[in-house]
Amino acid sequence: MATDLKNLSVFSTDELPDVSLRRFAILVSEWNTEVTEALFSGAYQTLLQHGAKAENIIRGNVPGSYELSLASQWFAQRNDIDAVIALGCVIQGETKHNDYINHAVAQGLTNVGLKTGKPVIFGVLTPNNQQQALDRAGGKHGNKGDEAAITAIKMLGLQQQVYSKF
């Protein structure tokens, strides 16, 4: 199963960059808060464990995952933010509403990253049911919040490499 092939919740920390001076925004959807709070905790603690400072991490709450794109743009456009981590959980319902949200937020977050040139990390779970969500928010499949934090750190390292002088 694809899930078994790649799980960033297990990762090497050998080559992570120094992020002690980097500033992060973590945006959290208020839908499915049992899941999104677990994602936030994972992302926040992972940032701290890998050198980020608590005073350099700002949290913002959004009504739902669909609002993550605009909120991410607001934060990413700030000069005092280096990376944005967007966390949400969109559980499939009876209609196709989840599909529209998921596609909108995935494209929206991508657009913000491309527009601002800053890492905007897609930390939105798109499960079929609550159990699949819990499994990926600190359960048997790890914590996508941890993975989102590591991804942000890695992207800042790559950005530094790209823009540093040879």
Ligand X SMILES: Nc1c(NC[C@H](O)[C@H](O)[C@H](O)CO)[nH]c(=O)[nH]c1=O
Q: Does 60 bind ligand X (CB under 6 A)?
A: no
Residue 94 interacts with, from ligand LTPLIIQW, ligand X, none (CB under 5-8 Å by kind)? ligand LTPLIIQW
Residue 97 annotated among the catalytic residues of the structure: yes
Catalytic-labelled residue, pool 50, 97, 103, 141: 97
46 annotated as belonging to a binding site for a ligand: no
Distance CA 56, CA 41 (A): 16
Q: Does 117 bind ligand LTPLIIQW (CB under 6 A)?
A: no
Residues that bind ligand LTPLIIQW (rule: CB under 6 A) add up to a total of 8
Please say whether the beta carbons of 30 and 63 come within 8 A: yes
Window of 35-43, 87-95, 107-115, 156-164 that interacts with ligand LTPLIIQW by CB under 6 A: 87-95
The dihedral through the CA atoms of 156, 33, 7, 132 has a sign that is: negative
Please say whether the beta carbons of 125 and 92 come within 8 A: no
28 or 101: CB nearest ligand LTPLIIQW:
101
Judged by CB under 6 A, which of 49, 77, 93, 128 binds ligand LTPLIIQW? 93
Judged by CB under 6 A, which of 8, 16, 58, 91 binds ligand X? 91
State the number of CA atoms in the 13 A half-sphere of 5 facing the CB. 2
Residue 12 interacts with, from ligand X, ligand LTPLIIQW, none (CB under 5-8 Å by kind)? none
Amino acid identity at 154:
K
Q: 135: which 2 tokens?
A: 């499994």
Please say whether the beta carbons of 72 and 86 come within 8 A: yes
Distance CA 154, CA 140 (A): 24
Nearest-CA neighbor of 113 among 64, 145, 59, 159?
159
Residues that are catalytic: 97
Q: Which stretches of the chain bind ligand LTPLIIQW, using CB under 6 A? A: 90-91, 93-95, 97-98, 101
Binding positions for ligand X, rule: CB under 6 A: 29, 31-32, 63-67, 88-91, 101
